[in-house]
Amino acid sequence: MAENTTQESQPAKPPKQKRIGADMIIPVAGLVFGAYYLHSIAGLPAMAQFNGRFLVALMVVLVIVLAFRMAWQLRRGEARFSFADLAETPQTAILRWGVLGLAVVFTLGIPYAGFTLSIFLFLTLSMFLLGVRPWTKMLTITVIASAIGYLLFIVALGARLPRGPVENFLAGIFG
């Protein structure tokens, strides 16, 4: 499984039949967004609508061409309908969506726990989930990474990041 993950990551050897189906997600999402866009600009001055109308029309044309191409490929048996592009083993799925879930929790929690504590917890839990072992190695990495984050963002750059218990404690010590 050492396949590159380049921009257009496709299976290493193209199967005899192209898989189509999953690649309709983006165009369909685009059309839904386009419809919402048109809805949201209804009633605005013509000039404010111009760009949106033009782009949505262009998108519809392109998606129709894509749909025709797909239908053509299906008919000639060059492709089959499948969502396999997005398929993943349950294990990878747990890891991937688990990390993403943790990232959501991190985002929601950062205003309350402050930057340093949140990033430490996020890194530790994610690496735990991903199976970074032994414990000591994992904790060393997460503690160092959080400390670098603290020193770089809060101390050196003075970024406007949420402060929490760790920042207040350290500020208490160093003034």
The footprint of other proteins on residues 134-173 (CB under 8 A) is 141, 145, 149, 152-153, 157-163, 171
Q: At its nearest, how many Å lie between other proteins and the CB of residue 167?
A: 10
Produce one character per residue of 56-87: b if its CB has 16 or more CB atoms within 10 Å, e if not.
beebeeebeeeeeebeeebeeeebeeeeeeee
Q: At its nearest, how many Å lie between other proteins and the CB of residue 66?
A: 6
The count of residues interacting with other proteins (CB under 8 A) is 77
Closest CA to 52 of 33, 73, 77, 71: 33
Q: Are 150 and 116 in contact (CB under 8 A)?
A: yes
107 counts as binding other proteins under rule CB under 8 A: yes
Question: Cβ closer to other proteins: 13 or 160?
Answer: 160
The footprint of other proteins on residues 61-90 (CB under 8 A) is 62-63, 65-66, 69, 85-86, 88
56 counts as binding other proteins under rule CB under 8 A: yes
Q: What is the spatial distance between Cα 31 and Cα 24, in angstroms, rounded to a whole number?
A: 11
Residue 43 DSSP one-character state: T
123 counts as binding other proteins under rule CB under 8 A: yes
Question: Cβ closer to other proteins: 27 or 166?
Answer: 27
Q: What is the spatial distance between Cα 23 and Cα 89, in angstroms, rounded to a whole number?
A: 19
Partners of 82 in the β-ladder: 21
Q: Are 41 and 49 in contact (CB under 8 A)?
A: yes
Instruction: Return the amino acid letter for 14.
Output: P
105 counts as binding other proteins under rule CB under 8 A: no
Among 13, 47, 90, 134, binds other proteins (CB under 8 A): 47
Question: Cβ closer to other proteins: 77 or 98?
Answer: 98
Among 17, 78, 81, 100, binds other proteins (CB under 8 A): 100
113 counts as binding other proteins under rule CB under 8 A: no
